[in-house]
Homo-oligomer: A and B are copies of this chain.
Amino acid sequence: MSVKVDLTMVKTRSTQQRVAILQILEGTDEFRSAQEIHKLLEQKKLKVGLATVYRTLQKMAVQEDIDAIRSAHGEIIYRKCGQKEGHHHHLICRQCGITITVDGPTIENWTEKIAKENGFREVSHTLDIFGICKNCYRKA
């Protein structure tokens, strides 16, 4: 129930594996799971250990190089966000997984305010909205 966060400031080395994983992410707008990325690397004849893929993605997500969300099926899926400008959120269909990106200036302001009121600094937040999209609702 608790979140472990490593606050140690460590230098990130640019390794072949890290570059390869980043290339995969930059080749698509879709969310990809660690397992998927591992398979895609295999197809490109690049041997990168599964654990390395997990570790690298996790680190990238912490350093905010990429977005990470939890799919309805329980996997963590990752995506390189093109639009780095402005923090944004996701509207995700529980059924088919289709994802819509939405800006949230309202939320930014609100979270900032709440945090300040409670004496918190260096604020960040995560917000995802889940629902059933039009298509899936029609099918059901």
Contact = CB atoms under 8 A, between A and B. Distances in A.
Interface of A: 1-3, 5, 7, 69-74, 76, 91-95, 97, 100, 102, 104, 106-107, 110-111, 114-115, 118-134, 137
B127 A131 contact: no
Nearest to A91: B118
Contact of A74 (B74, B128, B137): B74
Nearest to A4: B97
Contacts of A132: 120-122
A107 B71 CA distance: 20
Q: Which among A1, A69, A126, A130 has the highest number of chain B CB atoms within 10 Å?
A: A130
Contact of A118 (B69, B100, B120, B127): B100
Nearest to A36: B1
A114 B129 contact: yes
B127 A126 contact: yes
B119 A134 contact: yes
Contacts of A110: 104, 106-107
B131 A123 contact: yes
Contacts of A76: 74
